[in-house]
Structure 1
Amino acid sequence: MAQLWTEKRVVISGDADVLASDVAERLLVRLIRRSTAGKTSHLVLTGGAIGTEVLRAAGEHPRRSEVDWSTVHLWWGDERFLPAGHEERNDVGARRALIDHIDIPAANVHSMATTDDAADMDEAAMQYAAELARFGDDDRAWPAFYLCFLGVGPDGHIASLFPDRAEIQVTDRSVVAVHDAPKPPADRLSLTRPVLNSARCVWLVLSGVDKASALGLALAGASYETVPAAGAKGRRRTLFFVDRDAATNVPPELIDQEF
């Protein structure tokens, strides 16, 4: 039997709406504290239904105005390589849900290239890698991320790193082009596993019964090649925020309701 990774903890909310609200409030509290102290926070955002709902809850929360958004930089863990403004792009959903409702400098919003900006996905990946490197240092070619948000697919994928594919193994680049992805749209860009896992905190957000199996496997220490979510791990803390529908296979000893 695979040994449980006890450094990973699970926080359970009643349903998807409460989950989004709970995560958004926790995010804002931390950003308020950090920005008040003058600390810069680089965040990696995720798309998907529940990821966008978290951003919407943050965008509607009255405490959003307490954050000094000039200290916050927004990045994306993955993106669909589509024209600017396309409804399926993660940055479009994030702008509508959160970015349009906060006073954040345009230069602090780091979207991945669209089909209008790059000739192909390989060029788009190189462009984003260069943008990441502008905020890196001698030790890493990307920012010191405070928090990385990740959604998890029913197959256990994170960002656009899918099971049993070459992209999950890439460690020599910060950004990878994903061709013929098993989930449409087929053309995508993704941060690689070393970049995602470099964040101080990794928060995975899951909702729905279709995520229960992937969550159980991730917590049980499955191979990250076959269950990419199992390989998600923050430098300081790794938390799975889930609703009750997704929590079917969570061992009681991993539940942390005090967080």
Structure 2
Amino acid sequence: MRYEEFTIEGRNPVLEAFRAGKTIDRVFILDGCQDGPIKSILREAKKGDTIISFVKKERLDQISETGKHQGVIAYAAAYEYAQVEDILNLAKEKNEPPFIIILDSIEDPHNLGAMIRTANQAGAHGIIIPKRRAVGLTATVAKVSAGAINYTPVAKVTNLTSTIEELKEHGLWFVCADMDGEVMYKLDLKGPIGLVVGSEGEGVSRLVKEKCDFIAKIPMAGDIDSLNASVAMGILSYEIVRQRMN
């Protein structure tokens, strides 16, 4: 599976993709372009919360595979997104307390793919990602997930903080990964839980961190101060698994 298969180029193909109900994560439009078809594309993009980027012609030429982009290129999701309710329902079906992973601003598709794979193995019921400043379900993500994307639902939401609040009403409590927290082995991570992991550079954003009930630190004895985001998620996920098994 290659990323290009989910790159749609040209005014008509992009407009048709929107009208056919395809999930379009992002659309690149030639800066200054204001004609009828472009306006229609913009209208459709705004309806579906698609990220719109106005770019120079050089950028479009660079990402174009066909050389016939006509001033517009769209990135369609390789896989359909789930709803947050689907994730809660999966936990209910399995008769297990929900275990949900929330990823804050993960932009590297290799990281997201690896995280989906780990989440599946750790028995997480699903993953939630934000619509903005984060990679979507691209073909690269699907490939790196090694098939896990077919079994672990991924929901995309507009606002992580309000999603956390809604999930708290369903009895979940939240732990986020951060170096300022309590060592993870000292925390009680059993029961319905949401694990929040941020990007390597920025970590979990302040507003999201404020919504978390606990902050967990992974003990590190090395000379550098951070782990790859997908590795950190794996370590914390398996501490949750260990505590659940006990």
TM-score normalised by length of structure 2? 0.29
The higher radius of gyration belongs to 2
Pick 1 or 2: higher relative contact order, CA cutoff 8 A, min separation 6.
1
